[in-house]
Amino acid sequence: GSHDTMTYCLDKTSTVSGNESKLVKFLNKCMPCIVHPIIMKWSTTQVLTVTEQLEAGVRYLDFRIAHKANDPSMNLYFVHMVYTTVTVQDILWEVLRWLETHPQEVVILACRNFDGLTKRLHCHLIACIKEIFQCKLCPRNVSMNAFFPPLRMIYFSKFFDSKFLDIFYFHSDLHPTVWRRELNLSAISVELWDNSRDTTAIQSSYLMPRFLIFLFFFVSEKFFVAGINLTENLRYILVHPFGSLKKMTLQSLPCLKIWIKQQYPGPKKECINIIAGDFIGNDDFVKDVIELNTKI
């Protein structure tokens, strides 16, 4: 998986997202020529396009969806501190085109955040998903209670009804069953975040304590997703104005690589089935994750 999939196309002229802190907005307003380039460097988590990520082997896409403040249109964008240049609809069509040329593949879209989305915009987004993917959506009778058998079923069903896409639609304000009933989306029952600065969370003593490590797990019976991405705080950015998230991540890849190789896929609680990372085109990340399947 790729964490914050769409940050390769952040808009250099975009305003700061409405969900960012007042301090960040104030600094960007007062010193845009200085602050905005720094925001761009610390917001970018990927350099490969969606198609390039899929070609590289990514099958879990992390979509942070938003509607721009004071935008009268229904256009939806992706966001990570700032908004993207491309719309959600354009990327959904791009994913569809890739699926049509790779009929044996299964892709999971994790849709989340929904900054600025009203109920009307949520309905618009779901309508777009239905219109674009149609019969390629995951079959309605698939449950996540046992992930691997349904995955095999989806794979073999390509010969009959061409269903290749599963979508997780996370929304904290609306009752999840509303959207699950609408698209028969797989529910995620627990979301655990480890925001500790204790780097032993990924069993590595090589990472400096100043790095904030996110290890998140979406748990539904036998389904686990882990995100291994390093994140900075505002203080760290101010102390390192010439640094970037890419530089920080690349320095840490060797120890993250060690952690990945220690993992096991499967249905047990200690197992991880999807690992999402930043800059997935670097240091054999995809290859290392896929090779974990040999342990099954």
Residue 158 CA to residue 64 CA, distance in Å, equals 29
Position 150 confidence tier, pLDDT thresholds 50, 70, 90? low
Helical H segments across 140-244, by residue range:
148-156, 176-183, 234-239
User: Could you report the per-residue pLDDT of 90-133, keeping only the tens digit for each?
Assistant: 999 999 999 999 988 889 898 888 999 999 999 999 999 989 99
DSSP structural state of residue 142: -
Indicate the helix (H) or strand (E) that contains 56: helix 50-56
pLDDT of 7 above 60: yes
Residue 137 pLDDT: 83
Residue 40 CA to residue 122 CA, distance in Å, equals 28
Residues 213 and 201: beta-carbon distance below 8 Å: yes
What number of other Cβ atoms are within 10 A of residue 265's Cβ? 18
In whole numbers, what is the pLDDT of the chain averaged over residues?
Answer: 75
Cβ neighbourhood burial of 195 (10 Å; 0-12, 13-18, 19+) = exposed
Instruction: Please give the CATH topology (third level) of the domain spanning 22-295.
Output: TIM Barrel (3.20.20)
Residue 248 pLDDT: 86
Position 223 confidence tier, pLDDT thresholds 50, 70, 90? low
DSSP structural state of residue 187: P
Q: Beta strand 212-219 with 190-194: parallel, antiparallel or unpaired?
A: antiparallel
Domain boundaries, the chain: 22-295
User: Could you report the per-residue pLDDT of 180-216, keeping only the tens digit for each?
Assistant: 434 444 333 223 333 333 334 444 433 332 333 344 4
Residue entry with tokens 């952040």: 10
Tokens of residue 16, six digits: 């700061």
Indicate the helix (H) or strand (E) that contains 37: helix 32-43
Indicate the helix (H) or strand (E) that contains 21: none
| Mean pLDDT value of segment 247-256 | 86
CA 98 from centroid of its chain's CA atoms: 18
pLDDT of 64 above 50: yes
